[in-house]
């Protein structure tokens, strides 16, 4: 009998949610995704400090913004030497409400990769799923720059990304779970809200059903998991990005993993097509307290870690 990680791979592409090269080598994911928080954690380890030092040395006269992009690309290039597929590299979260600046930074990142001999097909540009971010992704996709929309917590965000014809979305599971657990407080029942009944799992399931129902080509990559139960409940999702700790737990557990999400099941669901004009998008997202709060919180956290990464880069520059 295979372990659960190998069984999961039969239905879903497994992606490593880490900036740790050794973890990638150990678990052999197809793709890898990073963000400033993961890179911040990585560069504080002895094994990765030389990468930071080399980047600062090679681009000493560069601005702080360029150095951050160069560092993210340096990590991405190393990652692409390990994984056979794609790497996601994130635009600075501090630009989440600036369409033009997001487009310019994305173009810069892709140019850095291409200058190093990496084809753009192997890179996904991560952008927060704000209205402005989605419009940036629409333009970038038209230029052949593929986008991975992150900080996605609601169906209306997913529907707008579909209309923009982005390459991939990363709907969060664990952060939705966190919000509902905190909101219910003493009334939270872990057993009741687990597996298919987990609020985060239900959110991704609805997005999957909507996409498959309407023939949306955008890939769905469930993200931000708190336990393996959430992962197993989404077996069959196009991709799942999983931390090294949870990858290890799946690898150590024996048993089959049946597909929980399938296009055939999604076709049978009765769903209306959503209006994702700007006013409708902003109104529906505003009406979703969880989605609004977690999007804002996520941007703040990523922006704070980007600022910390700036400080480490400046410290290394001396």
> In sequence order, which residues have a C-beta less than 8 Å from that of residue 1 and are 6 or more positions away?
254, 255, 256
Alpha-carbon 43 to chain mean position: 20
> Catalytic residues, which ones?
126
Q: Which of 272, 268, 213, 262 is nearest to 238 (CA)?
A: 262
For Cα atoms 83, 168, 157, give the angle at the middle one, nearest 5 degrees: 145
């Amino acid at each position: 009998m295979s372990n659960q990680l190998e069984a999961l791979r039969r239905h879903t592409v497994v992606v490593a949610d880490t900036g740790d090269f050794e973890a990638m080598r150990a678990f052999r994911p197809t793709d890898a995704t990073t963000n400033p928080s993961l890179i911040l954690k990585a560069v504080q380890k002895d094994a990765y400090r030389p990468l930071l030092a080399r980047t600062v040395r090679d681009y000493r006269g560069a601005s702080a913004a360029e150095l951050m992009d160069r560092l993210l690309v340096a990590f991405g290039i190393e990652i692409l030497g390990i994984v056979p597929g794609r790497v996601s590299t994130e635009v600075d979260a501090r630009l989440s409400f600036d369409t033009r600046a997001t487009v310019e930074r994305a173009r810069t990142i892709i140019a850095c990769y291409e200058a190093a001999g990496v084809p753009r097909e192997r890179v996904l540009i991560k952008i927060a799923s704000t209205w402005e971010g989605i419009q940036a992704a629409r333009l970038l996709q038209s230029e052949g720059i593929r986008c991975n929309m992150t900080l996605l917590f609601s169906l209306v965000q997913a529907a707008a990304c579909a209309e923009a014809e982005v390459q991939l979305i990363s709907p969060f599971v664990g952060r939705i779970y966190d919000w509902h657990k905190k909101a219910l407080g003493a009334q939270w029942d872990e057993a009741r809200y687990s597996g298919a009944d987990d609020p985060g799992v239900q959110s991704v399931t609805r997005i999957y059903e909507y996409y498959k129902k309407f023939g949306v080509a955008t890939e769905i990559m469930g993200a931000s998991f708190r336990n393996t139960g959430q992962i197993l409940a989404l077996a069959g999702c196009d991709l799942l990005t999983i931390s090294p700790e949870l990858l290890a737990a799946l690898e150590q557990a024996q048993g089959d993993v049946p597909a929980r999400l399938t296009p055939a099941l999604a076709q049978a669901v009765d769903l209306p097509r959503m209006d994702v004009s700007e006013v409708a998008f902003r109104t529906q997202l505003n009406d979703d307290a969880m989605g609004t709060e977690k999007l804002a919180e996520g941007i703040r956290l990523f922006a704070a870690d980007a600022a910390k990464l700036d400080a480490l880069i400046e410290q290394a520059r001396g």
